[in-house]
Amino acid sequence: MKDNPFLTRLNQYRTMWILVFFDLPTETKLERKAASKFRKSLLNDGFTMFQFSIYLRFCASRENADVHTKRVKLLLPKKGKVGILQITDRQFGMMELFHGVKEVEKESPHQQLELF
């Protein structure tokens, strides 16, 4: 029953991902502290950093996603912008990710240290 493709397909539409996007001010010490507290609270609730201002969390069901979404809403800082998006595992799996290649600095012509 576990390998039934029908159940697997349904599961991809039942399991959810929560994405939290935010742009928080960090100009003052208090703003930096609030932004840091918000990020740490997301991590403590099982979110993972996807990019610096995008955190995500897998949830086994829509009901579970609703619980964590409500928790995020309770953590909202007073300033800044926060977006919360729930998508199915199937939708998340259709995301296309691209990673650029980091350029490596070319070494200057060989400069060896001579020991006498």
35-90 tens-digit pLDDT: 999 999 999 999 999 999 999 999 999 999 999 999 999 999 999 999 999 999 99
Q: What is the DSSP string of 60-108?
A: SSHHHHHHHHHHHHHH--SSSEEEEEEEEHHHHHT-----PPPPPPPPP
Boundaries of every domain in the chain: 9-94
Question: What is the C-alpha to C-alpha distance for residues 108 and 113, in angstroms, rounded to an integer?
Answer: 14
- Tokens 């390998």 sit on residue: 3
Which residues are annotated as part of the binding site for Mg(2+)? 23
For residue 62, give both structure tokens. Answer: 């829509």
Reported pTM: 0.76
Residue of higher predicted confidence among 69 and 10: 69
Whether the pLDDT of residue 19 is over 80: the answer is yes
Which residues are annotated as part of the binding site? 23
Which of 3.40.50.720, 3.40.30.10, 3.30.70.240, 3.20.20.80 is the CATH number of 9-94? 3.30.70.240
For residue 38, give both structure tokens. Answer: 């918000």
